[in-house]
């Protein structure tokens, strides 16, 4: 079976028109099978892109992509819960649940489990499959031995994060606003200044993490291009690339070529080296090491 390639939801705060044009380019040029849409990080950003959502969905579908709507990763108010309820009631598109409230609301119907839901063992995987999940996107920090164990147990599709800054944690507080001397409620949406996340350094000036509103991500870019063959042999069905402000259509082409065997992993890596210039690559989690490590 041909491995599927998916584009995760945009985690960052991009200008709405820029985001629309990004998805139009993805619809027309990128070899993705699935595209996830929706605000996962901060509900305050949602209204800006909502007017463009119908035309983006239509354009992606016309381009042959399956569209999945993603829910928030952290629900902190009744208003946010109501928005998840409304999304879960959508009868036309598949929904990706990114917290257990959404999992409960989607029980009994076809849906996807996002990587913000912790799935670390066979028991959790079995429960979610029995709830109706047709695909489970596994957490980014799982080592290869855990991925292999879950793949041998799974009866539905499994997806692995294969590219992009790893979304490590999310908080009720907004680090981005605080760094600019602002409160969360009056943040002025300063996160729009950092389209790939705001770099965080240690006291001795070494790049350490990146911040996206209330979300903490890795500084390095997770890259499993060299591990794709092994992951496919395990039985992993799908691979997720996180969007960044680079040419994601070309990034997708690299992964598609390596997955299809028309290009070696080394050749694909050289192409990625030319496309990604804002942070180094890493794959440490896969090898059971610190996530920022790069194991050749």
Domain boundaries, the chain: 4-167+218-287
Cα of 133 vs its chain's centroid, Å:
17
Q: Cβ atoms within 10 A of the Cβ of 160, count?
A: 25
At 54-76, the pLDDT tens digits run 999 999 999 999 999 999 999 99
How far, in Å, are 103, 217, 225, 260, 265 from residue 256 at the CA level?
30, 25, 10, 6, 11
In CATH, 4-167+218-287 is 3.40.30.10 = no
At 192-246, the pLDDT tens digits run 999 999 999 999 988 889 999 999 999 999 999 999 999 999 999 999 999 999 9
Residue 55 DSSP SS3: helix
Distance CA 279, CA 219 (A): 7
Q: Report the mean per-residue pLDDT for the chain.
A: 95
Backbone angles phi, psi at 80, to 5 degrees: -70, -35
Going by pLDDT thresholds of 50, 70 and 90, the confidence category of residue 1 is: low
Q: What is the pLDDT of residue 89?
A: 83
């Amino acid at each position: 079976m041909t491995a599927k390639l998916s584009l995760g939801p945009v985690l960052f705060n991009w200008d709405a028109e820029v985001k629309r044009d990004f998805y139009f380019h993805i619809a027309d040029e990128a070899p993705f099978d699935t595209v996830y849409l929706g605000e996962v990080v901060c509900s305050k950003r949602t209204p800006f892109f909502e007017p463009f959502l119908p035309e983006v969905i239509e354009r992606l579908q016309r381009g042959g992509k399956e569209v999945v709507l993603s829910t928030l990763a952290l629900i902190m108010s009744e208003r946010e819960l109501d928005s998840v309820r409304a999304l879960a009631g959508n009868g036309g598109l598949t929904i990706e649940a990114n917290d257990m409230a959404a999992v409960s609301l989607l029980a009994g119907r076809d849906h996807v489990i996002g990587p913000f839901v912790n799935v670390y063992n066979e028991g959790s995987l079995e429960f979610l499959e029995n709830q109706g999940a047709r695909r489970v996107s596994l957490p980014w920090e799982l080592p290869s031995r855990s991925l292999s164990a879950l793949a041998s147990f799974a009866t539905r599709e499994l997806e692995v994060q294969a590219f992009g800054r790893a979304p490590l944690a999310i908080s009720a507080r907004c680090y981005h606003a605080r760094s600019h001397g602002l409160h969360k409620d009056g943040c002025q949406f300063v996160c729009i200044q950092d389209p790939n996340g705001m770099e965080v350094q240690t006291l001795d000036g070494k790049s350490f993490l990146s911040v996206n509103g209330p979300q903490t991500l890795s500084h390095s870019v997770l890259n499993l291009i060299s591990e794709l063959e092994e992951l496919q042999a395990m039985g992993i069905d799908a691979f997720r690339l996180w969007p960044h402000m680079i040419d994601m259509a070309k990034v997708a082409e690299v992964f598609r070529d390596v997955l299809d065997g028309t290009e070696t992993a080394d050749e694909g890596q050289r192409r990625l080296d030319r496309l990604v210039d804002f942070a180094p690559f890493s794959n440490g989690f896969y090898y059971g090491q610190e996530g920022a490590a790069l194991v050749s």
